[in-house]
Amino acid sequence: MTNFGALVISESDFLSAEFMGKAEGGGPSETIDGNLWAMDQILKPRPRIYRLDTPLPDGVALHAQGLGLFEDVLFVVNHAYGAGGDRVERFRVSAGTPKTVLDPPLVLEYLSSIEASWASGLFINDVAPIGTSEFFVTAGLRVSEILARPYGFASLLPQIVAPKLRESRLFHCVDDLDNHTNCGPVGPRAVSWSGAVTSPSGALLYANDAFRKRVVAFEVTRETEGMELVERGALQLPHVVETISLDPTGPVSYTHLRAHETRGNLVCRLLLEK
């Protein structure tokens, strides 16, 4: 996530938090907080990286995952577990005034938190803002919960296409006039909505159904009853992909979805309207 010529990176140890018990030094309450980091001079041979000061309410942990940026507002999916629960944090990003080469190039100002009680026990993954106080969130089952189900890992692939596993949802959230965020499900269910991103105009939402290896393009329409997502295209991927990003230099159509592999790693290019 870039701003002011810098890259913002989220960091957290989900392997320890989800799959390791207390005896092994892991678990949600034992895993140490992650951080947000900034990297600048990214086109130079030796980029610089800085740990950011990430202000949060007292007692709230930080295990950051998905990031989203709209203008100067940074959205962060935060799995705070017992110290705050699943939530979306909002920060205002401003250029820093470094006094030395050790000072970060940007500063975060805490704005608000949106606790994900509306996700009904699902695990939120990514955030895709379309305004400074309006955004989409992907939510589904934790991987550890899927693998712990009675059918086990060996039969996971046949089972993920069954309707009983299509519990993952997309949510649309917006602040009302009282500065209270209202969130509700929108669009179809999926096996594993994971990554999400919107086009620069906010007219298109791209969501990644990770276990089905499928990226779906939705047209975002506003009806009298609320937000509606209309599927306009899809891309079948050769691999499981967790997160997606945009290619803002592409042509003007949501039908132009393509993927290619670079050194064995899948790169999904979503070519959007400008």
57 has pLDDT over 80 = yes
Give pLDDT, residue 266.
Answer: 39
pLDDT recorded at residue 35: 86
Tens of pLDDT, residues 166-195: 788 999 998 765 667 788 999 999 988 989
Cβ atoms within 10 Å, residue 72: 15
CB-CB neighbours of 21 under 10 Å: 10
Averaged confidence pLDDT in the chain = 76
* Ranges 20-29, 41-50, 170-179, 206-215, most confident: 206-215
- pLDDT higher for 196 or 84? 196
Distance of CA 260 to the CA centre of its chain: 22
Residue 265 has pLDDT above 80, yes or no: no
Q: What are the tokens at 12? A: 């957290």
Kindly tell me if the per-residue pLDDT of 130 is higher than 80.
yes
Question: What is the rounded distance in angstroms from the CA atom of residue 95 to the CA atom of residue 93?
Answer: 7
Residue pLDDT, tens place only, 61-72: 888 888 999 989
Per-residue pLDDT band for 255 (boundaries 50, 70, 90) equals: very low
Does pLDDT of 204 surpass 50?
yes
- Long-range Cβ contact pairs of 14-22 (< 8 A, separation 24 or more): 14/63, 14/65, 14/79, 17/63, 17/79, 17/81, 18/142, 18/143, 18/144, 19/144
Please report which confidence band the pLDDT of residue 242 belongs to, taking 50, 70 and 90 as the band edges.
confident
Residue 252 has pLDDT above 50, yes or no: no
